[in-house]
Amino acid sequence: MSWWKHGVIYQIYPRSFLDTNGDGTGDLEGIRRKLDYLQELGVSGIWLSPINPSPMFDFGYDVSNYRDIDPVFGNLDLFKILVKEAEHRNIRIIMDMVLNHSSHLHPWFEESRKDRNNSKAGWYIWQDAKPGILGRKRPNNWMAAFGGHAWQWDENRKQYYLHLFTVQQPDLNWRNPELKKAVFRDLSFWLDLGVKGFRLDVINYLIKDNRFRNNPYRWRFTYPRRHDLQHHRYDRNQDECFDIIRELRSLTDAYPDTMMVGEVYPDEGVHAPDLAGRFMGNDLLHMAFDFSPMYTPFKAETFRGILRDWYSTIPPGGWPCHVFSNHDQSRASSRLAGKYHREEKLRLLAMLLLTQRGTPFMYYGEEIGMTDVKLKPSELRDPVGKKYYPFHPGRDRSRTPMQWDNSINAGFSEAKPWLRVGPDYRQCNAEKQMKDNNSLFHWYKKLIALRSREPAFHKGTIEFPPVHEQDLLYYIRKDGDKQFGVILNISPRPVSAFVSSPGKVCISTHREAGSSTGRDLYLSPYEGTIVEWR
């Protein structure tokens, strides 16, 4: 079975993991030094948010060189060492690749914008202005995700270029065969260095409508971002995108046990699981994220509906994956666990994530319960947060430094960190939790070990029997003659559960492992129990 199906993938935001050179920013050497920590936790793969050279207008998601490492993180030699030492610990490296757009300082764009006749003139999406009563008019009404119109006038070419994100992130023209060849060569460069997969940023944006038709409008109450007042019918999810993904799949298939997972960003009004499912298959992406769990309340019936819905959309050849937190969203510990019964809820979320069918993705610090950090306006670094404060909190809140110990700056850096450390780091840190066998860290470690050890959890089937309690989340994982019942009481009140058969407790928030259970289970508030049946 492929490692990425069997194991757990851990996302690292490199700027925030560990600083080893005293500049306040995390680096590759910091990740290398913590490989033993990740091995003890039990993860099988590391997804690195972008580490390519970048002017950092969007903190790495504006790439100026696809074949190198930004000096703030290290260099290629350090990266090669990281790959090799991770492999020694049976951990694979996954690169975050931004293929929809580059930096405006990438040599490709600097050449492209010189004039209309150079060798890279068609590598980006350029359009002439439309005539207007008051002068030139933009090609259409498309809006940028980070604010304003998606078209920027360039005086050299006397044309507009498209940028679906910041103005410093011009969109690549994937209809240009030479551009496509160049990107594929850059991807092969990393695969040849031993990278075992790619997380593909906004992969459904690659191709836009070739007639550049206006997006239809829709009206809803939202914070002041006109981007959200459109149905994005023509600036994403075009059929030609699948042809490119098939070529990407052929490339990765040439390298053993390599995978692709896509960020398929939905449009409001589009059923997110269905859209993500469209991008997976035998000749498409191996996995695609469904972000529905990030926009749901902490309720059993909601989780049950979302999960059943997600599994029903997975096509032949596709593989489900699950995520509660990432670098773009509020942390699940703040969004779902809240202030009350927080520790109990975090343990339930861990059990829920790590016992699903499919690959779990963890976000750094999730294993110790790190929370969002409320930052002052003067501390914001994220372009979204800075532009839309106070209407949108931005993404910095979930990107704060990893809390390693109770020393200054939580052991992250000897210098002032690029973002402020969470104020709870003296109570919530990895060193403290590693010494406490009853901590959240060890709870994650036990669940990851169970998932790795028992085929029912990493390759078995899943089914959701009917329940009579709306606060009860109950599902069965089965492989051959061995099966497990996962029973979670997602409420502050006791509930009763009627399960398939008597068994013994495998792992539980409230019960002794190995103790016997009957068919009638009475669960304490926020209890999670896994029962083994034979």
Burial status of residue 185 (CB atoms within 10 A of its CB: 0-12, 13-18, 19 or more): exposed
Catalytic residue among 263, 344, 372, 454: 263
Closest among 43, 40, 16 to 30, alpha carbons compared:
16
Contacts of 474 (CB under 8 A, 6+ apart): 464, 465, 467, 485, 486, 487, 488, 497, 499
Q: Where are the beta strands (DSSP E) in 59-107?
A: 92-97
Q: How many CA atoms lie within 13 A of 250 on its CB side?
A: 7
CA distances (Å), 421 to each of 147, 398, 405, 436, in order? 28, 11, 11, 22
Question: Has 263 been annotated as catalytic?
Answer: yes
Phi-psi region of 418 (alpha: psi -120 to 50; beta: other; left: phi over 0): alpha
Rounded CA separation 183/7 (Å):
29
d(CA 259, CA 267): 25
Give catalytic status of residue 454 as yes or no: no
Q: Give every CB contact of residue 271 below 8 A, 6+ residues apart in sequence.
A: none
What value, to the nearest 5°, has the Cα angle with vertex 381 and ends 375 and 384?
95
Which of 119, 103, 238 shows the shortest CA–CA distance to 181?
A: 119
The structure tokens listed for 121 are 């003139």
With the CA atoms of 404, 406, 407 and 410 taken in that order, what torsion angle do they form, in degrees rounded to the nearest 10?
40
Give the integer Cα–Cα distance in Å for 74 and 242.
35
CA distance 442 to 40: 10
Q: Which two tokens stand for residue 328?
A: 């773009």
- β-strand 135-137 against 159-162: which pairing, if any? unpaired
| Residue 436 token pair | 């406490």
Angle made by CA atoms 179, 95, 361, in degrees to the nearest 5: 130
Q: Identify residue 264 by its one-letter amino acid code.
A: V
**Residues sharing a CB contact under 8 Å with residue 117, sequence separation 6 or more, in sequence order:** none
Q: What b-and-e string marks burial along 154-174, b requiring 16 or more CB atoms within 10 Å of the CB?
A: beebebbbbbbbbbbbbbbbb
**Of residues 201, 267, 454, 527, which has the active-site annotation?**
201
- What is the distance between the alpha carbons of residues 21 and 176, in angstroms, rounded to a whole number? 41
How many Å apart are CA 140 and CA 55, to the nearest integer?
29
Alpha carbon distances (Å) from 392 to 167, 298, 396: 19, 22, 11
Catalytic site positions: 201, 263
